[in-house]
């Protein structure tokens, strides 16, 4: 049984051609999928809902901070005059260097 080189070369060429066809089919399918992915709509509703939740939480937190600041301002406003005068004297002493 003798195999000719020409027959081997033909078989090799056939294998190479089949491999090229399979590779091209894979590339074509990948391009098709990439195009589908590229053309998909972005689920904006999901991100909008998340953004709305973040904004809502930030507003709640800002309200808490504002309420705390109002309470603190009210406390400062209601400091007894004696205590306020004492604090003023202490500040003046500190600034002028008198002990």
On whether both 26 and 55 belong to a single domain, the answer is no
Q: Indicate whether 3 pLDDT > 80.
A: no
Are 13 and 31 within one domain?
A: yes
Q: Based on the domain organization, do 57 and 35 belong to the same domain?
A: no
Q: Average pLDDT for residues 41-69, to the nearest whole number?
A: 89
Examine the domain organization and report whether 32 and 61 are in the same domain.
Answer: no
The answer to whether the predicted template modeling score (pTM) of the entire model surpasses 0.85 is no
pLDDT at residue number 2: 62
pLDDT in the model for residue 60: 92
Residue 46's pLDDT band (boundaries 50, 70, 90)?
Answer: confident
Domain of 1?
A: 1-40
> Do residues 20 and 68 share a domain?
no
Same domain, 48 and 74: yes
Asked if 66 and 98 sit in the same domain, the reply is: yes
Do residues 49 and 35 share a domain? no
For the chain, what is the domain count? 2
Distances in whole angstroms, Cα of residue 39 to Cα of each of 11, 18, 27, 45, 47: 42, 32, 18, 17, 18
Tell me the DSSP string of 47-81: HHHHHHHHHHHHHHHHHHHHHHHHHHHHHHHT--H
């Amino acid at each position: 049984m003798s195999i000719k080189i020409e027959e081997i070369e033909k078989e090799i060429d056939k294998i190479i051609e089949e491999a090229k066809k399979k590779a091209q089919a894979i590339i074509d399918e990948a391009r098709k999928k990439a195009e589908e992915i590229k053309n998909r709509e972005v689920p904006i509703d999901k991100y909008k809902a998340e953004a709305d939740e973040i904004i809502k939480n930030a507003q709640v937190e800002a309200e808490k901070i504002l309420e705390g600041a109002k309470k603190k301002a009210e406390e400062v406003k209601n400091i007894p005059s004696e205590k306020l005068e004492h604090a003023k004297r202490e500040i003046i002493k500190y600034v002028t260097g008198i002990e």
